[in-house]
Amino acid sequence: MLVVADTLTNSRKEIAPLDPGKIGMYSCGPTVYRYAHIGNLRTFLAADVLRRALEYRGLEVTQVQNITDIGHLTDEMFDRGEDKMLMAARLEQKSPAEIAAYYTEAYLADAAKVGILPAARYPRASRHVPQMIELVAKLLESGHAYEREGTVYYDVTSFPGYGKLSGNSLESLRPGHRHEGVDYAKRHHFDFVLWKAAGPRRLVKWDSPWGNGYPGWHIECSAMSLHYLGERFDVHTGGVDLTFPHHECEIAQSETVTGHQVVSTWVHAEHLLAEGRKMSKSAGNFYGLRELEERGHSPLAFRFLSLQSRYRTQLNFTWDALAASETALHRLRSKVAEWSCLPGPSTGPSGRDEADYEARFLAAVEDDLNLPAALSLISRLDADPDLQPAAKARLVAGWDRILGLDLTPVSVSLPEGAQNLIHRREEARRARDFAAADALRAQLADLGVEVTDTPSGTTWHLAHPPAAGRP
C-alpha cells in the first residue's frame, strides 16, 4: 500500500482507506484572480500523481478541489491589506464575478494541459456561503468563537490542539514589540477571522446573522470539505505554504464542530523555486504556463521536469532544465513508439520478466511517490536485451497511468531517405565494413536520426523534437 510523508504525525504513513476500496481526497485549489503560476501547478501535480497512484491500485478516488473565487485580504495573518479579487477587478476593469469566471476557466485549461485529471467536484467558494455561515454559527454556539461589531473570530485558546500540524505553539505566536497590524477587537492577537464585517464600499458581500460581510479564508475549506466528503476523509493535499495558518486553522474549525479528527493524512508539496529564488514579479522570475508555451515548450515537458524531483523536496526551475526535459520526453516517446513497431513476440522468456519490473515500479511509487526512482526503470528497460520490445512498450504504457506523460505509442515517421540509409548501414555491418557503417551513421545524424546497435539488431529514434510551431 502507498506510504506518504504525513505532515500531521511528521512520519511516514500508509494510506489505509476509511471506507474499503474508496478514498476521499480534498485538494486546496487556486485563488482565481490571476493565472496560476508554475509553482501552483507543481503543487497540483503532486496531488494528481498521488491520486493516480491510488487509482492504479484499484481504489476509487473521489477528489474535491475548491476554487477560491471570493476575495480575501492580502495579509491573512493580520486581517489587513488589499482584497486580491477586488484589486484584479479594478486593474482589469471587470467585475469580480467576471475575473473569477475567466481565471477559473484558465486554470482548468492549464491543469488539463499538464495532464492533471479532472476532480470529481470543483466547488466554488461563492456558491457555498450558506454552509460557511452555518459552520460559523455552530462555532459561536459552542463557545469557540465570538463576535465583535459584525466580525466573528475563532478563539484559538479554546482548541488545545492548535499547532499540532505546523508545530507552532501559542507561545511562539506572541505579537512583536511594535504590535504592527494587531486587531484590538480580538481577544488574542492569534485569533483568526471566521466572518468579516463588510465596509460601506465593499462590492462583494452577503447577509448573515451578524450583518453584511464575507467569509474568512480558512472557513471555506472546512465548510466545503465537510459538505462533500463528510466528517471523516482520507487525504488532504496542498502546498507547504498552506500548512500554517490555513490548514492549522482548518483543523481547529473542523475538529471543533465534529468533535473528532476529520482528515486522516495530510500531504504537502514543497516550493518550486525559479533560478534558485522564490518566484516574484519584481524578481522577473514569475512564470505561468503561457510563458513556457511562448518559448516553444510543451506543458507536459514541465510535468516531466516535476516528476524528476520528489514532491516533498524543493525543485529549482530553470529554462535549461525545462529544455532538457523537453528533449528527454521526446526521446522517450520515440523509444516507446519504436518498441511498439519492432517485430517480435509480445510475450516470452526474458532475463528480467515483466512482473519483476512492475513490482519494482510499484515499490518506487508507493515509497512516498518516489517518481525519480520509478522513471529510472525505463532506462533499465531500454538496456535489457532479453525483454521483448513489445513487453517494454506494454509496461511503459501501463506506467503512464501514473506518469501522465502521454506515452501511448504513436506513429513516428523517419525523415525522407533515412530508412534507406538504415538498411544500407545494416548491410555494411553484416559485411563488417565498419568505416562505411560509421559514415552512414553520420549521415543519419545529419537527418536527426540516432541509431543504436544492440544484440538483437539496430534501433533508432529521432534525436530532436520538432521545432516549435511545427507538427
Q: What is the pLDDT of residue 237?
A: 98
CATH fold of 3-269: Rossmann fold (3.40.50)
Q: What is the pLDDT of residue 352?
A: 55
- 83-97, 114-128, 387-401: which has the minimum mean pLDDT? 83-97
The one-letter code for the residue type at 270 is E
Compute the distance between CA of residue 277 and CA of residue 430 in angstroms, rounded to an integer: 55
pLDDT greater than 90 at residue 317: yes
Locate cell 512583536: which residue? 176
The per-residue pLDDT of the chain, averaged, comes to 87
pLDDT greater than 50 at residue 469: no
Q: What is the pLDDT of residue 337?
A: 85
Share of the chain above pLDDT 90, in %: 62
Residue 470 pLDDT grade (very low, low, confident, very high; cuts 50, 70, 90): very low
Burial of 350 (0-12, 13-18, 19+ CB in 10 A): middle
Compute the distance between CA of residue 209 and CA of residue 226 in angstroms, rounded to an integer: 22
Residue 142 pLDDT grade (very low, low, confident, very high; cuts 50, 70, 90): very high
pLDDT greater than 60 at residue 411: no
Q: What is the pLDDT of residue 86?
A: 66
Task: Say which residue, 431 or 152, is predicted with more confidence.
Answer: 152
Compute the distance between CA of residue 16 and CA of residue 235 in angstroms, rounded to an integer: 10
Residue 345 pLDDT grade (very low, low, confident, very high; cuts 50, 70, 90): low
pLDDT greater than 80 at residue 343: no
For the chain, the domains span 3-269, 289-403, 418-462
Compute the distance between CA of residue 172 and CA of residue 170 in angstroms, rounded to an integer: 5
Residue 412 pLDDT grade (very low, low, confident, very high; cuts 50, 70, 90): low
pLDDT tens string 261-282: 999 999 999 999 998 888 876 6
pLDDT tens string 202-260: 778 999 999 999 999 999 999 999 999 999 999 999 999 999 999 999 999 999 999 99
Q: Which three cell numbers stand for residue 196?
A: 468579516
Q: Let me know: does 450 contact 459? Beta carbons within 8 Å.
A: no
Task: Say which residue, 81 or 178, is predicted with more confidence.
Answer: 81
Compute the distance between CA of residue 231 and CA of residue 262 in angstroms, rounded to an integer: 6
Residue 93 pLDDT grade (very low, low, confident, very high; cuts 50, 70, 90): low
Averaged pLDDT, 49-71:
95
Compute the distance between CA of residue 325 and CA of residue 322 in angstroms, rounded to an integer: 5
pLDDT greater than 70 at residue 80: no
pLDDT greater than 80 at residue 309: yes
Locate cell 496531488: which residue? 47
Averaged pLDDT, 161-166:
95
Averaged pLDDT, 439-449:
88
Sequence-distant (6+) residues with CB within 8 A of 449 are 414, 415, 418, 421, 422, 460, 461, 462, 463
Residue 359 pLDDT grade (very low, low, confident, very high; cuts 50, 70, 90): very high
Residue 175 pLDDT grade (very low, low, confident, very high; cuts 50, 70, 90): low
How many other CB atoms sit within 10 Å of the CB of residue 346?
10
Bridge partners for 463 per DSSP: none
pLDDT tens string 454-463: 554 566 767 6
Q: What is the pLDDT of residue 201?
A: 75
Task: Say which residue, 247 or 437, is predicted with more confidence.
Answer: 247
Q: What is the pLDDT of residue 454?
A: 58
3-state secondary structure the chain: CCEEEECCCCEEEECCCCECCEEEEEECCCECCCCCEHHHHHHHHHHHHHHHHHHHCCCEEEEEECEECCCCEEECCCCEEEEHHHHHHHHHCCCHHHHHHHHHHHHHHHHHHCCCCCCCECCEHHHCHHHHHHHHHHHHHCCCEEEECCEEEECHHHCCCCCCCCCCCCHHHCCCCCCCCCCCCCCCCCCEEEEEECCCCCCCCECCCCCCEEECHHHHHHHHHHHHHCCCEEEEEEEHHHHHHHHHHHHHHHHHHHCCCCEEEEEEECCEEECCEECCCCCCCCCEHHHHHHCCCCHHHHHHHHHCCCCCCCEEECHHHHHHHHHHHHHHHHHHHHHHHCCCCCCCCCCCCHHHHHHHHHHHHCECCCHHHHHHHHHHHHHCCCCCHHHHHHHHHHHHHHHCCCCCCCCCCCCCCHHHHHHHHHHHHHCCCHHHHHHHHHHHHHCCEEEEEECCEEEEEECCCCCCCCC
149 sits in the region (left: phi over 0; alpha: psi -120 to 50; else beta) called left
Q: What is the pLDDT of residue 415?
A: 82
How many other CB atoms sit within 10 Å of the CB of residue 12?
11
